[in-house]
Chains A and B, each alone.
Chain A
């Protein structure tokens, strides 16, 4: 009978040490992964908010840069652009229809997150941002700059101050805050045209 005395095997201590090392490695890896994943998820949410904000701002800027004084109204009345707490409206020149059309931006506030809608002419209202607006204010400002010794009526400038804050429903993400002034170029040129 042949007895093998030189059998190769791990001892219980070796196995326990290995298990300990592996669990430390795995624990660290899992912790790191979870932290990175959480951070990435937050950043992803922030990016979505930023994209929403950027698209809304681009849309509003484009519209306001096409804003005009309606042909049937008095040039001396610059109230072509009206802003209330929940609505911003003005006229834009539509090259498609070859006439000035009203454009209305509507803000619908809600505790869980407000929404912004846009309507042009007789088209149906479209949602631009859905349930992500934490706060929104828009206000028009008309200024007149007169030369100290000038004889003219001065230079008129109309601007819209926009203050927007977007947030996700979960609230973990960094809110997106935007504060800027928009100067409707065409409208301002029309206001100052001789």
Chain B
């Protein structure tokens, strides 16, 4: 009897990593899905900013309560436009890069905070940065 119990225990220990591999695989796929959605949301925000004429890209810090669908970008007139996204918060920072008194570039940094997996309380962050050149110089 003792031998049987021991052998079953050893078998269970051997099988444990196999089952863990499956559940880890599932978790990773869920995380990749959340990462993809965060990445898509970041590009959606970044693209609409860099699509604007250089003069319309106003420097400043924009928090998630301002960056909402239909919200004004830098007190208007341009409005933000977003597809619906749950468990996701956007923020953005636009900085001037100046030389000899002229603004050569705008540095745009988009940050997306998102829930790692459905039902999870772990929050992750995703950053995206780009430079917009001043085409008016």
Contacts and interface: CB of A to CB of B under 8 A. Distances in A.
B51 A188 contact: yes
Contacts of B65: none
Interface string B25-40: 1100110110010001
Interface string B15-32: 100110011011001101
B79 interface: yes
A180 B83 contact: yes
A32 interface: yes
A175 B82 CA distance: 22
A124 to B, nearest CB: 30
Q: Is the interface of B mostly helix, strand, loop or mixed?
A: helix
A22 interface: yes
A146 B36 contact: no
B4 A179 contact: no
Interface in A147-161: 147-148, 150, 154-155, 157, 159, 161
A61 interface: yes
Contact of B53 (A43, A61, A150, A192): A192
Contacts of A32: 15, 19
B47 A185 contact: yes
A22 B4 contact: yes
A40 B30 CA distance: 12
B123 interface: no
Contacts of B47: 65, 182-183, 185
**Interface size bucket, B side?**
35 or more
B53 A155 contact: yes
Contacts of B25: 40, 43
Determine the main DSSP class of A at the interface with B.
Answer: helix
A28 B36 CA distance: 36
B121 interface: no
A29 to B, nearest CB: 6
Contacts of B78: 145, 155, 157
Contact of A161 (B36, B43, B48, B83): B83
Contact of B33 (A46, A145, A179, A192): A46
A47 B32 contact: yes
Given A32-B19, A40-B26, A189-B53, A25 B11 contact: yes
B128 interface: no
B82 A181 contact: yes
15 contacts: A32-B19, A36-B19, A36-B22, A40-B25, A50-B32, A145-B76, A145-B79, A146-B77, A148-B77, A179-B83, A180-B41, A180-B43, A181-B83, A185-B51, A192-B52
